[in-house]
Amino acid sequence: MIRQIVEAALLAAPQPQTLAQLAALFPEDAPPPPGSLEKAIAELREMEADRGVELVEVASGYRFQVKANVHPWVARLWSERQTKYTRATLETLALIAYRQPITRGEIEQIRGVSVNANTIKMLEEREWIRSVGHRDVPGRPELFGTTKAFLDYFGLKSLDELPPLAELRDIAELEPQLPLEAPAVASAAMADAGADDATREPLYDDTADGLDDEDPDAGYDYEGGDGDDDRLDPPGADPDADDFGHGAEECDHEPHHHAANTATPDDATGDAAGPERDE
């Protein structure tokens, strides 16, 4: 019976559920026996071999999600226009994920081009990144890190599950899984982002996300003018660093080791990004 309750709860819940949240479903005078919830989850995972869904643990808890092999068919349930992200947007997100905490200036130095303010704004609105403090240097630039929502979206339990950069030939390989309750737009969006930078697109589809028509610049990436990135060569910049993400074949460099982090936290909450990755 406990396994059935856990299965039904995970199928019905709009968000991932932790063991504590699952335990709270039972009456206080009849709690589940110790270890019974873990056993139920293990049994459900054993039963999923021939099913179209799988039980996974992400940063926020456990959830059922559609398996990748049936993704193309299930995606037809939703008719919304697919959200498409430019390579510049995905490169910015990847740098934040792999080298957090990181400032906007550091991102610009690595990429060799300026970061459009709308790129950061859109990633914050998606709740994939957040401010985690300020670098203790003149000007106190803002530091960015990823969130639990980022981990949940890409089907990760922690930052440790990010694939090594040496194995990530294309950003599109970091493919999100399809939760039962969410439209299947992410996989195609990540794949479409591999197009050449010469055909710059909006950061995301303004017809799908309801951008303010009165702001012609909102949601658009103007990095590199007409589509040709003006590659900068900052004084003292690492010559290998600015090759991080300009084209799929160049996205395979190991992340550099940060100097000692002197960030000053600004009321960081429990979903703050994890410690800086040291590959």
Q: Tell me: the pLDDT tens digits for 132-184? A: 999 999 999 999 999 999 999 888 989 998 888 776 655 555 555 445 444 33
* Residue 210 forms part of a structural domain: yes
Do 46 and 99 lie in one domain? The reply is: no
Note the pTM of the prediction, 2 decimals.
Answer: 0.53
The C-alpha R_g of the chain, in whole angstroms, comes to: 21
Do 193 and 231 lie in one domain? The reply is: yes
C-beta separation of 254 from 168 below 8 A: no
Sequence length of the chain is 279
Domain CATH for 32: 1.10.10.10
Quick one: angle between helices 87-99 and 104-111, nearest 10?
A: 120
From the list 147, 157, 142, the residue with the least C-alpha distance to 127 is 147
The pLDDT of residue 206 is: 37
* Residue 148 forms part of a structural domain: yes
64: which strand partners?
A: 55
* Residue 12 forms part of a structural domain: yes
From the list 74, 133, 112, 110, the residue with the least C-alpha distance to 267 is 133
* Residue 269 forms part of a structural domain: no
Do 162 and 35 lie in one domain? The reply is: no
Do 97 and 228 lie in one domain? The reply is: yes
The pLDDT of residue 267 is: 42
* Residue 42 forms part of a structural domain: yes
* Residue 74 forms part of a structural domain: no
C-beta separation of 177 from 112 below 8 A: no
Tokens of 114: 């300026």
Do 51 and 93 lie in one domain? The reply is: no
Give the side-chain half-sphere CA count within 13 A for 198: 1
State the distance between the two ends of the chain, measured CA to CA, in whole angstroms.
Answer: 44
The pLDDT of residue 85 is: 83
Do 150 and 246 lie in one domain? The reply is: yes
Query: Residues 262-268: contacts with CB within 8 Å, 24+ apart?
Result: 262/135, 262/136, 262/137, 263/101, 263/132, 263/133, 263/134, 263/135, 263/136, 263/143, 264/133, 264/134, 264/136, 264/140, 265/132, 265/133, 266/131, 266/132, 266/133, 266/134, 268/132, 268/133
Tokens of 20: 């504590």
Domain containing residue 26: 2-66
Do 98 and 211 lie in one domain? The reply is: yes
* Residue 100 forms part of a structural domain: yes
The pLDDT of residue 72 is: 87
Do 104 and 201 lie in one domain? The reply is: yes
Do 99 and 188 lie in one domain? The reply is: yes
Do 42 and 115 lie in one domain? The reply is: no
* Residue 187 forms part of a structural domain: yes
Walk along the chain (279 residues) and give the pLDDT tens digit of each residue: 999 999 999 999 999 999 999 999 999 899 999 999 999 999 999 998 889 999 999 998 999 999 989 988 988 887 766 677 888 899 999 999 999 999 999 999 999 999 999 999 999 999 999 999 999 999 999 999 999 999 998 889 899 988 887 766 555 555 554 454 443 333 333 333 333 333 333 344 433 333 333 333 334 343 333 333 444 444 444 444 444 444 333 333 333 333 334 444 444 334 444 444 444
Number of structural domains, the chain? Answer: 2
The pLDDT of residue 266 is: 46
H-assigned helices in the chain = 2-12, 19-23, 36-46, 71-74, 87-99, 104-111, 117-125, 148-153, 186-192, 206-209
Do 134 and 27 lie in one domain? The reply is: no
C-beta separation of 148 from 274 below 8 A: no
Do 101 and 217 lie in one domain? The reply is: yes
